[in-house]
Amino acid sequence: MRKRDFLKIFSVGTVSAIALSSVAWSCLGTDGKKGLKNWAWIHPVESSDPAHSGDAWKKLLTNLKKWGIDSALILTQNNSILGEVLPIAKECGIELHAWIIALNWPDKTTMKEHPSWYVVNGKGESCVDKPAYVDDYNWLCPSNPEVIGFMKKRVQELCSIDGLAGVHLDYIRYPDVVLAPEHKAKYNIPQDDLVHPQFDYCYCDVCRSQFKKLSGTDPLTMPDQATNDAWLNFRFDSVTNLVNELYDTVHKSGKVLSAAVFPTPYLSKFRVRQDWVKWKLDDVMTMIYHRYEHKPVEWIETATREGVEALAGKIPYYSGLHLFHLTPKELGLATKLSLKAGASGIVLFSGNRMNEDYWKYMEKEI
């Protein structure tokens, strides 16, 4: 399997997600949109001459604005990219958020200095030595107070940047307990829909000791590891607590926090322990990538409705639409179905792939 391809499919889908701002609201009255906010995930533009990367960003953001996008979530692997793009985004009238890969952290130095920060599976194997699926599946444990501190520091550094509207969390979850149907098929990974110790996390010392304090039981020796409700809830709460801490951190700086999550509340909890309906967030973006689920485009409406109803108005919900899976006509349909099901707007994956043909169909729906 090509590692790079594999990792791609689990982020919002890339290279390796309300507080409507005054900027966004000011647009609504003038461009005729239906009180919606639309977003795009964007990644660094390809430019053969780095000296002209500013021109490439300007072209991309000018086009996105023209194509109904209010806010861009920019992949931020190095904070310096924000210094380059923020002034251009401001000029183009696009709100900019830093999109970060949160817990999938295959950083050699961190693994060497802090192996205890990383998740351990139900067989007692650390993802540092024996990662699941591919070599780079090295994930930080959200229960570990040192990891929480590390994540807060990352987010605080971003929040100190003037003009940045917010922080967007991707990979804010456990490794996949079970893969989506398309990924099992495409990468020939035989897997049923049961919980197996090899893919079940996290049994690190911190998780074991925290759970033992709560329940009196060591999860590593529990006979019903896969089905024990208290143990399941512990993992949900572990991610929820981290997100909530980051929310408070971000809000102290007057910025907003959003996240990219799995397509429905049920699939998110079952596959990656994301109980995002309970998270403190300003905006939530679901990755409703129907092809990964072997579903028709129409499933986007079902999945959107499930999320919108579960949130019950608590957080604005945006349907993440995968342009690589949609023809221009299908993007029109997916947009229409998302809004019909109650989404507050859509998020394009990716803004870099957007074009006039797509806009022709999307424009009719927003």
Judged by beta carbon, residue 77 or residue 209, the one nearer Zn ion is 209
286 bridge partner residues: 261, 319
DSSP 49: S
- 69 part of the interface to Zn ion, by CB under 5 A: no
Q: What would the x/- binding string for Zn ion be over residues 139 to 158, using CB under 5 A?
A: --x-x---------------
Token digits for 266?
């049920």
Please enumerate in sequence order all residues whose Cβ is within 8 A of that of 198, keeping only pairs 6 or more positions apart, or say none. 121, 122, 123, 125, 132
Would strands 166-170 and 71-75 be described as parallel, antiparallel, or unpaired? unpaired
* Structure token digits, residue 49: 């001459």
The residue from 12, 74, 204, 339 that contacts Zn ion (CB under 5 A) is 204
Contacts of 124 by beta carbon, 8 Å cutoff, 6+ apart: 203, 220
Least distance to Zn ion, CB of residue 260, Å: 22
With binding defined as CB under 5 A, does residue 207 bind Zn ion?
Answer: yes
Q: Among 277, 357, 286, which Cα is nearest to 322's?
A: 286
Residues whose CB is less than 8 angstroms from the CB of residue 128 and which lie 6 or more positions away in sequence, other chains included: 111, 115, 118, 138
Closer CB to Zn ion, residue 67 or residue 201? Answer: 201
Q: Per-residue x/- mask for Zn ion, residues 173 to 202, rule CB under 5 A? A: -----------------------------x
How is residue 52 written in tokens? 């002209």
Q: How many residues does the chain have?
A: 366
Least Å from the CB of residue 117 to Zn ion: 9
SS3 291: helix
Work out how close the CB of 144 gets to Zn ion at its nearest, in angstroms, rounded to a whole number.
6
DSSP characters for 234-268? HHHHHHHHHHHHHHHHHHHTT-EEEEEE-SSHHHH
CB 101 to Zn ion: min, Å: 19
Q: Measured from the CB atom, is 148 or 337 closer to Zn ion?
A: 148
In the bound state with Zn ion, the residue whose beta carbon lies nearer, of 101 and 141, is: 141
Q: Supply the minimum distance, in Å, between the C-beta of residue 203 and Zn ion.
A: 7
Q: With respect to Zn ion, which residue has the nearer C-beta, 105 or 358?
A: 105
* Pairing label, strands 95-101, 71-75: parallel
Say how many residues touch Zn ion, by CB under 5 A.
Answer: 5
Q: Minimum distance between the CB of residue 148 and Zn ion, rounded to whole angstroms?
A: 12
Confirm or reject binding of residue 85 to Zn ion (CB under 5 A). no
Q: Is 61 a residue that touches Zn ion (CB under 5 A)? A: no
Question: Minimal distance in Å, beta carbon 268 to Zn ion?
Answer: 19
Report the interface residues with Zn ion, using CB under 5 A: 141, 143, 202, 204, 207
